Amino acid sequence: MNYALASLAIPFTVALLTLLLQRRSEANPIVPAITVLATAVSLVFAGLALETQAVSGAVSHLNVGGWDSPLAIRLRLTPLKALLLGFVALIHLLTGLYAWRAKPKIARDYWPLSALLHTSLAALILSADIFNLYVTLELLSLSAVALVCLSGPKAYTPALYYLLLSLGASLCYLMGVAVIYGQYGVLDMTVLAGIMEADHSTRFALLLMTAGLMLKGALWPLHLWLPEAHTYAPTPVSALLSGLVVKGPLFILWQLWNNLAPEALAREMGPLFAAGGVVALVSGGWSAFRAPFIKTLVAYSTVAQLGYALMGLGLLLFLQERIYAVALWLFVLAHGLAKVSMFLAAGEMQTLLGSKRVTAMRGATQTIPITMSAFAIAGISLIGMPPTGGFLAKWSLLEPLFTQANHWPWASGVLLGTFVSAAYVFRAIALGFYQAPMSREPRHFDRVSQWLALLPALLVGLMAFAGQDLIAWMAGVTQT
Amino acid sequence: MNWTNALPVVAVFSSLLPGLLIFALREQQQGLRTGLNLLGVTVKLIVVGVMLWGVSQGLDFRVEAPFLPGGALILHGDALSLQFVSLSAVLWMATTIYAIGYLRGTPLQSRFFGYFSICVSATVGVALAGNLITFLLFYELLTLATYPLVVHRGTREALDAGRSYLAYTVAGGTLLLMGIAVLHALSGSPQFVPGGYLASVPARHGPALTVAFALLITGLGVKAALIPLHGWLPKAMVAPTPVSALLHAVAVVKAGAFGIVRVIYDVYGAETLEQLDLTAPLIAVAAFTVIFASLRALQQRHLKRRLAYSTVSQLSYIVLGAALLGPIAAVGGLVHLIHQGIMKITLFFCAGAFEKTLGVHRISEMDGIGRRMPLTMSAFTVGALGMTGIPPTAGFISKWFLAAGGLEVGQPWVVWLFVVSGLLNAAYFLPLVYRGWFSIPTAEWPEDHQPESGWETRRMLLLPTLFTALLTLLMGLLAGSALGPLGWSQLIVAREFPL
Amino acid sequence: MNGTVNGVVNADLWLNVLLAPLAGIVVLLVVGRKSVPWLWLSCVPALLAAIWPPGELNPGYLWPAASWGAPDPLARGWLGFTALLWGCATAGAAGIVDWDKSGMRFWLFWLFSLSGNLLLVIGKDAISFYMGFTIMSIAAYGLVVHHGGPGPRRAGRIYLQLAITGEMILLAAFVMRAQSVGGSLALADWQQLPIDGFTLAALVLGFGLKIGFWPLHVWLPLAHPAAPSPASAVLSGAMIEAGILGLWRALPADDSLLQSWAGPLLALGLFSAFYGVLLGLITSQVKAALAYSSVSQMGYFLVILALAWRHPEQSSAFAILLVLFAAHHGIAKGALFLGTSIHPLHRWTWLVYLLPALAISGLPLTSGGAVKGDLKHWISESDFSHLSGVFKLATAGTTLLLARALWLLRRADAGTTARHRSGLLLGPWTLLCLSVVLVPLLWPGFREVWIEQLSWSTTWQLLWPMAAAIALTGFAIKMEWRVPEPLRRWYTPVLPFSLRLKRWLYNPPLPRTHLELDWRWWRQQERRWNHFWNERGIISSSGWLLGFILLAGVIWSAFW
Amino acid sequence: MSPELLYLVVGATIWAVGLGGLLLVHHMLRRVIAVNLMGSGVFLVLVALAARSSPPDPVLQALVVTGLVVAISATAFAVRLASARAQHSSGTPEVERPGGDES
């Protein structure tokens, strides 16, 4: 628990510290270094937390400040949470490194805000009661919106939309919290898990919270804000938003339905989620396929890929089999890595090719091969071809479906999803193979940032080679 | 890990590593690139040679690594896989040399050879895959690695072809994945076993097995270009000729056909398939493909497209041979796997040499080409006769066994299928031979590059062509020798059909 | 024939029989035109092997069950005359074929064809036979179209269409035959086990396309005039007879089915014999007339086969008759075809030329007299003895046809200014012509038959129809009979059919499977859809959706 | 109808009105207000729930306080953002402009 707390506290401290440092001088070169370093340290601590937690397999609690329930801020650490902490830190580290190298220079406010985002995500993960979750959700949204604004006035409109919808969604969620508290008088999730019943008000509360979380997590059909916000954000921010921020609400949703909701309700809700996931896959994929801009394409692909997660969640609730939880979280991990890579690559392309249009990628395999490789490998993971992480996740979703004949129809959802993902990914990749106009040499050719984009792609690209251990371990991790 | 474990890995990596290294090379480092390629080729040939010897001696080359729950990564060199591995190793050698000659002076060679080597590695992986999961892994890698080769020219036409290629193969790959998942859910993904490992699955899973079979065959049928899943193949002709050659002879289409053979014999097994009565539709589709693709080939006026449709037709020989579920037919199908590869690559090499030397793309431009390029045209003639099944070429041997196999399992119509197919093959190949040798050139060649060496074309283009043409002849003439493809196929079948 | 020789000569001689023409190819490729006068040497090993046959050779490293040898007099004799004919024709061709006009190509095809022909004769297994047969047939295409131009091209097209069809049918027949005898590929086995009607039909059809009896003769009268005369010589003298050999080898010696088929086959043979004569009489080309003579002579072969089928107990005797007939016809017809290239024809050349012509008509003391006499003898002793009279008519017809051919040749010779009288041509040609007398004397097996037929009655029976025919010819020349106009324009319906087939094959009527999508319409729908959402704005749309979900949820939570 | 229930219903209604405002109103500032209305509705509900027992539930009051803090900061941010956006699009920080500015 202490390690996890450290992993949470470090970015928080850094956020404050960098804020102070920024004040003193206009652009302090130390700030990025500190932030990145701190993220790395936070990652190490998350890793340590994961190790202790995975070894002991235990669940630890902490009441912040020694207050007692119900007034206390309760934190709870499980192996999965430790894993997610590490994941958050890792993605932050990667994007932080990229932001450090990025040309043109990113706005200096990026550093404290990203640290704040990191903090709120970590807090969200660790929180053990549903009201705390509301607070962390708000923090998350506020810092995310602020980050979106960093790319200047053109981002204000999408940022504002994002903010307003996000606020509305939070209030939906809060209404749900109120109803639940009114019903049960408890906020702590471990306690709630035992006592919730499938009555009308619980249903209504769950519904309110779900709707809010879906809006925040850009789950279909409440994803409309996402493409613009992700498109107009600065590149590292897009990566963070797609890779992490939308996963926060998803995590809550998962806890809500998997741990709190009575099984009967969960079984009812499962098919809806799963069906929504299939539609998300198809419609998001189609939009990505038709998207005119590189980043819009990648953003819509997030919408589509969240469909897989939603499908995993739905099937988990519907069929009540652990393996779908594994699939769900494997999707989250694989998608996070792949999306970071894709957004960084997309950003690189925008800078290097001087255009944000997808058609600008013509000949990219010749002019910017490394970036293009990053984009391609990440894309292939999104499609779910072996040996990528996407394949691993898809496999763990697909394979158990076939054990019973009446679950087979759901497999067609996966089938559709694969087709559509392949369509939009290869649409972009294909452009890269056009004969490049040889005369045009890319500007600001920075090898390091290209490799930074490639790194997560490689990670996710070879993820399935650890498949057997990973699935077995995840199956254990998602128990709690 | 002892050396028998290491060899399958070396076989895969002997082309994968050079491929990855070549990506890093600059365009001008021609010598280094060629050196890396040839090094890989040599290592692979040696390894394959040793493995061939070992398998004939009864050694077991096997290596396993954890991958998915219930499905490890297994590379296993058994007789069947070596059949395919040897084909790819030998033809990789020929094609690499050819490609060096073909691409001289064109841009993006590092990218080309990089993907080319990966493509071969994937093919070898497909061949050596010891279970379905491993097969899938390399099969998909093959899809991906081939795409850049198909679109190598980077023109709109090439990209269109690439799109069609991807649409078909990715869809096929997904269906294959589905099928594999179905089987995996039933029985895990154990190692391929002669006679099929699904024999032990209880009979109540019959419907699941049927659906899985349909999925697998459809998925594999895309690459094996079974009609109506063949659409990508003729379009992929816009690729540079070495790619078409490799695509048609070895890598892609054979991966599909080989996969079908694997599924039939080592996953389901003849007995299970007979119980479930699954092969009849496959046989029907294959037979239809044999005839219909030939008719389509007749319509083509473009040399490479005609060759492509011929490939579609010939691939179904292999599928048919495997699906007939008789030992003789299996020998025919397996031996055709090799024979078709050698013959078709010869034809493509010739087509590429015509194209590079004289700018000839269309059939109508081939008039009298035999006077200008007699050696290439001779090779073409050998290949064409082989495709038609005229002795003493390799094609005759396959056809003989396939027809006899059909009779053996009580399907006499198969014989007449091959008669009709042979006639159609003759109808679309012999006019080319006629044009080449007997017609008088009516106009100037579209472009004429007389190489300085005084040979009829670049030596790098000519020598591999002659080599494969010679192989085509030798495989027919020396079919009886134990080390030939026929002897090896009989060895495989002896192991598959324990009588 | 005797066992001691078998031990003396190494079985590897069989390999050399085939390697000789292949070596010829190599020498040709390396040395070029200088090697041409010596290419006839390629046939020497075959001739040696025929005279001193070694034991069988089993080259197992070649195709499965490969086995070569000449175990019986049939095979020996066949190999002998084939080698003789090819040798002479090769030497003759060296004197005729112009090197500068695609000579290399001609010789390559020639030698391939030769090796195929030799292979099929010495092959004791089905694959060797089939392989040789096919190589021979396909390579002969190059000989047929050698001259180029529309005529040869047309002839070549029909030749190839039929040859390939024949090959494919034969392949099917061979496969079926092999399977029906339990997978054995040894031709010796095939002669032991019964056959089914389907396979038999396929075999007759497949070989028939090569043999060229009616109605499968269509390519013969087209191909022969088109090909250079040495090529016609081997086509007519060796290749089409290979089909007869195949029929003999692939069929069982004693089979009830064959007995029942003997009658129809005999009828077919007889019809073919007369049909060939009649059609030959109305052609105006020497080589076409000779080709029709071949069609007619092939009828006799069918008759021999029919006799053998009907009387299996005398199979070995018929085998002898078959090979003798084949040798006789091969040599004589080869000499006749080869001779058509000799220009101008001097007196002694005419005399020599008459020899094979008369031999084919059946002049006693020549090979023709011997074999025809023998054939008549067998017919009279067979179930078909009532047909003896017909054969006298046939002899007369043959004589008429050859007289017509000679007359045409004289006319053609008078009309040409070309000169072809090199020693390379005249020497072998003379040898071939004289062989119609020499071979019966030198070949012990032939000699026996020859001596048997040296009776006055046989001579008379053979001579009077010939004499009658010659008299008729003299009368016809005297009266200046001409072929009636409508018959002169006789043409075979096969030509347009073949052309139509070619066109059909070049553009088979297949359905066009092309998916036409109205892209513009779809694009418009997409625009509308995007517009629908953009108009409302993100917040409103999302809000509506949220509200809708909540409403649905309220209903869900309230009423479930 | 007890006062708590009344407050509850009123709170819920305010919340719903806020939500309706969010989706019906096209003006940014009004939307910010709509969101605030939603917040107020929730807080009213929370307070009403707290009032069910006596003494009132301190947890809920703590929640309301926390929520208010969050709401204030979020509103401030939203207003600043809206004005910045308006300034960028029209050159004045004036958010209010007839006809709406959604696009």
Q: Residue B381: pLDDT band by 50, 70, 90 thresholds? A: very high
Identify which of B380, B388, B391 has the alpha carbon closest to the alpha carbon of residue B423. Answer: B388
Boundary of a domain, candidates A128, A157, A186 = A128
Pick from A307, A303, A418, A423: which is nearest to A358 by CA? A423
The backbone torsions φ and ψ at residue D98, rounded to the nearest 5 degrees and listed phi first, read -65, 150
Task: Name B362's bridge partners.
Answer: B302
- CB distance from B484 to chain A under 8 Å? no
**Predicted confidence band of residue B379 (pLDDT cuts 50, 70, 90):** very high
Q: CA-CA distance, B103 to B352, in Å (whole number)?
A: 11
Which bin fits A75, alpha (ψ -120 to 50), beta or left (φ > 0)? beta
C-alpha C402/C-alpha C286 separation (Å) is: 9
Distance from CA of D62 to the nearest CA of C (A): 27
Same domain, B198 and B135: yes
* Residue A163 and residue A119 share a domain: no
Q: Are residues A291 and A437 in the same domain?
A: yes
Instruction: Indicate if B263 and B360 belong to the same structural domain.
Output: no
Q: Please tell me the number of Cα atoms within 13 Å of A98 on its side-chain side.
A: 32
Domain boundaries, position B52: 1-276
Q: Note whether residue C546 is domain-resident.
A: no
* Strand-strand pairing, B61-68 and A73-77: unpaired
Q: What angle do CA A212, A217, A223 make, to 5 degrees?
A: 90
Rounded Cα distance, D51 and B219, in Å: 65
Max Cα separation, chain C? Answer: 125
Which residues form the domain of D74? 3-90
Residues B104 and B179 in one domain: yes
Phi-psi region of A320 (alpha: psi -120 to 50; beta: other; left: phi over 0): left
pLDDT at C438: 87
Q: Determine the pLDDT at residue B301.
A: 86
- Tell whether B19 and B48 lie within a shared domain: yes
* Neighboring chain A residues of B140 at a CB cutoff of 8 Å: 385-386
- Looking at the 3D structure of chain D, how many domains does it have? 1
pLDDT value for C396: 87
Higher local confidence (pLDDT), B334 or C254: B334
Q: What is d(CA C10, CA A451) in angstroms, rounded to the nearest whole number?
A: 74
* Same-domain check for residues B116 and B261: yes
Token pair recorded at residue C529: 């859809």
**Is any Cβ of chain A less than 8 angstroms from the Cβ of D19?**
yes
Q: How far apart, in whole angstroms, are the C-alpha atoms of residue A409 and residue B384? A: 47
DSSP code at position C32 = G
Beta bridge partners of residue B75, listed in sequence order: B63, B129
Q: Please determine, for residue B374, whether its predicted confidence score (pLDDT) is greater than 80.
A: yes
The two three-digit tokens of residue A20, written as one number: 């102070």
pLDDT in tens, C48-57: 888 888 888 8
Q: If you average pLDDT over residues C68-76, what whole number do you get?
A: 86
Q: How far is C511 from chain D (nearest CA, A)?
A: 51
- Determine, for residues D78 and A160 on separate chains, whether the beta-carbon distance falls below 8 Å: yes
In the predicted model, is pLDDT for residue B469 greater than 90? yes
Contact A70, A137 (CB under 8 A): no
Give the list of residues 6+ apart from residue D2 with CB closer than 8 angstroms, or none: none
Partner-chain contact B170 A411, CB within 8 Å: no
C553 assigned to some structural domain: no
Other residues' Cβ atoms within 10 Å of the Cβ of residue A404 = 11
In a domain, D103, yes or no: no
**Shared domain check, B404 and B357:** yes
The Cα B144–Cα B160 span in angstroms is: 16
* Containing structural domain, residue C239: 3-505
Judge whether D51 lies within some domain: yes
Q: Closest residue of A to B160, CA-based?
A: A430
CB-CB contact of A305 with A312 (8 Å): no
Give the integer Cα–Cα distance in Å for A471 and C214. 77
Length of chain A equals 480
CB nearest to A160's CB, from D19, D70, D81: D81
Dmax (CA) for chain D in angstroms is 54
Q: Which residues pair with B73 in a beta bridge?
A: B65
Nearest to B216 by CA among B136, B143, B290: B136
Residue C87's pLDDT is: 92
Last residue of a domain, one of A99, A128, A157: A128
Torsion of CA B462, B465, B469, B471, to 10 degrees: 110
Judge D/C contact: 3 or more CB pairs < 8 A.
yes
Q: Are C370 and C440 in contact (CB under 8 A)?
A: yes
Put simply, the answer to whether A165 touches C549 (Cβ < 8 Å) is no
| Interval B269-313: pLDDT, tens | 888 888 888 888 999 999 999 999 998 888 888 888 899 899 999
Of B276, B311, B338, the residue that ends a domain is B276
Non-local (6+) Cβ contacts of A354 within 8 A are: A360, A443
Q: State yes or no: chains A and D have 3 or more CB pairs below 8 A.
A: yes
Residue C39, domain member (yes or no): yes
Closest of B187, B420, B136 to residue A403, by C-alpha = B187
Tokens of B238: 């816009």
Low-confidence winner among A347-351, C4-8, C220-224 (lowest mean pLDDT): C4-8
Residue D62 falls inside a structural domain = yes
Contact at 8 Å (CB) between C266 and C303?
yes
**Percentage of residues in chain B with pLDDT exceeding 90?**
21
**Whole-angstrom Cα distance, residue C336 to residue C403?**
12
First to last CA, chain A: 16
Neighbours of chain C (3+ CB pairs under 8 A): A, B, D
Decide if A320 touches D, using CB distance below 8 A: no
Tokens standing for C506? Answer: 């070049």
Amino acid at residue number C486: P
pLDDT of residue D100: 43
Number of domains within chain B: 2
- Domain count along chain C: 1
Cβ separation of B69 and A464 shorter than 8 Å?
no
Which residue range forms the structural domain that includes residue A43?
1-128
Helix C388-415 to helix C256-282 angle (10° resolution) is 40
Q: Do chains C and B touch (3 or more CB pairs under 8 A)?
A: yes
Length of chain D: 103
How many CB pairs below 8 Å do chains B and C form together?
106
Secondary structure (H, E, C), C33-48: HHHHHHHHHHHHHHHH
Nearest to B351 by CA among B134, B98, B68: B98
pLDDT number for residue A440: 52
- pLDDT exceeds cutoff 70 at D31: yes
Lowest mean pLDDT among C78-87, C401-410, D59-68, D86-95: D86-95
In this prediction, what percent of chain C has a pLDDT beyond 90? Answer: 18
Give a yes or no: residue D23 inside a domain. Answer: yes
Average pLDDT over every residue of B134-147: 90
| CA-closest candidate to residue C50, choices C314, C446, C420, C340 | C446
Helices C150-180 and B413-438 pack at an angle, to 10 degrees, of: 150
Determine the Cα–Cα distance for residues A350 and A234; give it in Å rounded to an integer.
11
List beta partners, residue B25: none
CB contact under 8 A, A419 and B174: yes
Angle at which helices B156-187 and A408-432 cross, to 10°:
150
Q: Can chain D be said to touch chain B, i.e. do they have 3 or more Cβ pairs within 8 angstroms?
A: no
Contacts with C544 from chain D: Cβ below 8 Å: 23
Residue D45 located in a structural domain: yes
Q: CATH code at D36?
A: 1.10.287
Question: What's the confidence (pLDDT) of residue C119?
Answer: 92
What's residue B1's pLDDT?
56
User: Is the pLDDT confidence value at C493 over 80?
Assistant: no
For residue C271, what are the contacts with CB-CB under 8 A and spacing of at least 6? C214, C299
pLDDT string in tens for chain A (480-residue length): 678 788 888 888 888 888 877 765 566 677 788 888 888 888 888 888 888 876 666 677 777 666 666 666 778 888 888 888 888 989 888 888 888 887 777 777 888 888 888 889 988 988 888 888 888 888 899 999 988 888 888 888 888 888 888 888 888 888 888 888 888 888 888 888 888 887 878 888 888 888 888 888 888 888 888 888 888 888 888 888 888 888 889 898 888 888 888 888 888 888 888 888 999 989 888 888 888 888 888 889 998 988 888 898 888 888 888 888 888 888 888 988 998 898 888 888 888 877 888 888 887 888 888 888 888 899 999 888 888 888 888 888 888 888 887 888 888 888 888 899 899 988 888 888 888 665 455 555 677 888 888 888 888 888 888 888 888 888 877 775
For all residues of chain B together, what is the average pLDDT? Answer: 87
What pLDDT is attached to residue D99? 44
- A268: which chain C residues are within 8 Å (Cβ-Cβ)? 560
- pLDDT confidence of residue A438: 56
| Count of CA atoms in the C-beta half-sphere (13 A) of C532 | 6
CA distance to partner chain D, nearest, from residue A153 (Å): 6
Same domain, A308 and A454: yes
Q: Are residues A159 and A32 located together in one domain of the fold?
A: no
pLDDT at site A17 = 84
Quote the ipTM score: 0.86
Query: Residue B1 in 3-state DSSP?
Result: coil
A-chain residue closest to B71, CA distance: A468
Q: Which of B407, B432, B493 to mutate to test the interface with C (most CBs of C within 10 A)?
A: B407
Task: Supply B163's token pair.
Answer: 């799109």
Q: Does residue A139 sit in the same domain as residue A249?
A: yes
For tokens 């994961």, the residue is: A50
Chain B residue numbers with beta carbons less than 8 Å from the beta carbon of A430 are: 151, 159, 162-163, 166
* Chain centroid, CA A295 distance in Å: 16
CA distance C440 to D9: 128
Q: What is the 3-state secondary structure (H, E, C) of chain D?
A: CCHHHHHHHHHHHHHHHHHHHHHHCCCHHHHHHHHHHHHHHHHHHHHHHHCCCCCCCHHHHHHHHHHHHHHHHHHHHHHHHHHHHHHHHHCCCCCCCCCCCCC
CB nearest C547 (choices: D23, D31, D103): D23
Asked if the Cβ–Cβ distance from C171 to B422 is below 8 Å, we say: yes
Query: Final residue of a domain: which of B251, B276, B301?
Result: B276
How far apart are alpha carbons A326 and A126 in whole angstroms?
19
Mutate to test the interface with A, among D30, D52, D70 (most CBs of A within 10 A): D70
Q: Domains in chain A: how many in total? A: 2
Arithmetic mean of pLDDT over chain C: 85
pLDDT (0 to 100) of residue C6: 47
Q: What is the DSSP letter of A358?
A: G
| Contact in structure between C246 and C169 (CB atoms under 8 Å) | no
Chain D residue numbers with beta carbons less than 8 Å from the beta carbon of A164 are 22, 28, 31-32, 35, 78
